[in-house]
Amino acid sequence: MTTSERDTELAAKLRGITGESSVLTRRSQLLTYTSDGLPTYRKWPALAVFPNTRNELIEVVRALALAKRTFVARGAGTGLSGGALAEGDAVVVGLNRLNRILSIDAENRLAVVEPGTVNAHLTRAANAHGLHYAPDPSSQTACTIGGNVAENAGGPHCLKYGVTLNHVAALTVILPEGELVTLGNADGEDAGYDLLGAFIGSEGCFGIAVDVTVRLTRNPEAIVTLLADFTTVEAAAQAVSAIIASGIVPAALEMMDNATIRAVEASIYAAGYPVDAAAVLLAEVDGLKAGLDVDVRVIEHLCVELGARTVRIAREEGERMRLWQGRKKAFGAMGRIAPDLIVQDAVVPRTRLPEILAKIGEIGRRHGIMICNVFHAGDGNLHPNIAYDARHAGVEERAHEAMREIMTVCISAGGTITGEHGVGLDKLDYMPLVFTPQTLDAMCQVRQVFDPERRSNPEKVVPVHSCREWYAVRGARA
């Protein structure tokens, strides 16, 4: 059977499960699914299927297992590491139609949702009970809970509230071979190995979540957002360290540099950031009303002491939202600078921030490219973004070379290559810089426990060649 005959046969089989309109095969239809939020990568899947119900999803995965086909689960496609791309023989399994909130147990602060549920929709539904879902990636108005689980997504507020790992109580998973398994335990404690913890952040390589039981968080009684502006990036970074050292746990502590500020202020997301500032800090404290003002005054005092020109304190919801919109839509605003953008992600120990930011600036200047920094300063989680025009010859290569240098700098400072975007395709080459061959091999083998034939999101996260080399060494030794 030729490839196209196999695809036709598979498409017919999948249509039998999901109905005619839920399977896409034509290139014009598949175009949308050839990239994710990091459009420097483009891959063509063989076809795409969109199950409409839980049972359809289970049947689809079983049909793919029977046909020995590789597949890639995809939520909203907002990922930033090329993780949701499918190539060649691989089938995209789109989960965005599985978007129902199945139940909310307000008293126990738990909700069960389908994987395609949009993050912000969950929070909106929980708000009716005075609750919210704490992890809040910048893409929260579009990204899905299933995708958040796959990436172990964070967001500005994970500084205080933790990442996806800390907010998932249980998962029902369909394994690549078609078996269903429950990981975690929403009704009590979990016993045995922490398979739930291992699954979260496995980037779609261990199977597909059929439903997710998340923990909800009580809405704070009060929230205050502060905007401090600085004339040097170093001073802003020092203020970050001082705030953390004071013992206050801000709900969020975000930094934007001048390039980002100007992009935001020139866009429809203009938030009133001072355009001549070298950097602004967006700090937020929340929780019980009593005592919150004490924390606000401490943060204000520390910022001023470390050279802030002004500290704006927003208590009113409208003003807070405006300050936040500039931050959350900063990536979009960067579209004004140049048509192409690489949104990057790395983590360094917080105390190394001033030094690393200076090095990133130097790398950008040396390669003649523009780097905008907008990031979770409180966590040391950097997002250096390169805005460039790929139509100009050689620019894309320079951008990628600059990124490689930035990653190397972060690793040698004791940091890591990704704090929340995942490895996907984009960071594969950097994995051997962070992990030893033994550790990479262990990751390969754990993946094979869940997915023995490596059909679920193949060739992502761990470089296959590094595993093979290790197998070869082992074979020779035996």
Between 105 and 276, name the residue whose CB sits nearer to another protein: 105
Report whether 226 contacts 311 (CB < 8 A): yes
- The binder of another protein chosen from 1, 20, 21, 193 (CB under 8 A): 193
Give min distance, CB of 8 to another protein, in A: 33
Between 48 and 200, name the residue whose CB sits nearer to another protein: 200
Question: Parallel, antiparallel, or unpaired: how do β-strands 310-314 and 222-230 relate?
Answer: antiparallel
Q: Between 110 and 149, how does the x/- string for binding to another protein read (CB under 8 A)?
A: x---------------------------------------
- The binder of another protein chosen from 16, 88, 368, 414 (CB under 8 A): 414
Q: Is 163 in the site for another protein (CB under 8 A)?
A: yes
Q: Which 375-404 positions form the footprint of another protein (CB under 8 A)?
A: 376, 379-381
Q: Is 160 in the site for another protein (CB under 8 A)?
A: no
- The binder of another protein chosen from 12, 358, 449, 472 (CB under 8 A): 449
- One-letter identity of residue 304: V
CA distance 296 to 293: 5
Between 26 and 477, name the residue whose CB sits nearer to another protein: 477
Q: Which 348-377 positions form the footprint of another protein (CB under 8 A)?
A: 348-351, 376
Q: Is 179 in the site for another protein (CB under 8 A)?
A: yes
Q: Quickly tell me which residue has 């600078």 as its tokens.
A: 337
Give min distance, CB of 440 to another protein, in A: 8
- The binder of another protein chosen from 77, 440, 455, 458 (CB under 8 A): 440
CA distance 177 to 62: 7
- One-letter identity of residue 7: D
Between 152 and 385, name the residue whose CB sits nearer to another protein: 152
Give min distance, CB of 29 to another protein, in A: 32
- The binder of another protein chosen from 27, 192, 394, 476 (CB under 8 A): 192
3-state secondary structure of 251: coil
Question: Parallel, antiparallel, or unpaired: how do β-strands 47-49 and 381-382 relate?
Answer: unpaired
Candidates 385, 374, 338, 363; CA nearest to 80 is: 385
Between 115 and 378, name the residue whose CB sits nearer to another protein: 378
Q: Which 197-216 positions form the footprint of another protein (CB under 8 A)?
A: 197-198, 200-202, 205-206
- The binder of another protein chosen from 112, 292, 303, 399 (CB under 8 A): 292
- The binder of another protein chosen from 263, 431, 455, 458 (CB under 8 A): 431
CA distance 434 to 81: 17
Between 88 and 291, name the residue whose CB sits nearer to another protein: 291
Tokens found for residue 283: 């700090």
Q: Quick one: DSSP state of residue 404?
A: H
Tokens found for residue 444: 């390969």
Q: Is 475 in the site for another protein (CB under 8 A)?
A: no
3-state secondary structure of 436: coil
Give min distance, CB of 16 to another protein, in A: 25
Which residues in 296-311 are b (16+ Cβ under 10 Å) and which e?
Answer: bebbbebbeebbbeeb
Count the Cβ atoms, other than its own, within 10 Å of residue 392. 11
CA distances from 239 to 135, 279, 343, 380 (A): 25, 11, 25, 13
- How far does CA 11 lie from the centroid of its chain? 31
- The binder of another protein chosen from 439, 465, 468, 472 (CB under 8 A): 439
Q: Is 420 in the site for another protein (CB under 8 A)?
A: yes
CA distance 77 to 92: 11
Phi, then psi, of 67 in degrees rounded to 5? -85, 0
Give min distance, CB of 237 to another protein, in A: 11
Which residue stretch of 87-95, 303-311, 358-366, 432-440 sits at the interface with another protein (rule: CB under 8 A)?
Answer: 432-440
Give min distance, CB of 236 to another protein, in A: 15
Q: Quickly tell me which residue has 């594969």 as its tokens.
A: 428
CA distance 338 to 324: 23
Give min distance, CB of 395 to another protein, in A: 27
- The binder of another protein chosen from 154, 156, 176, 204 (CB under 8 A): 154
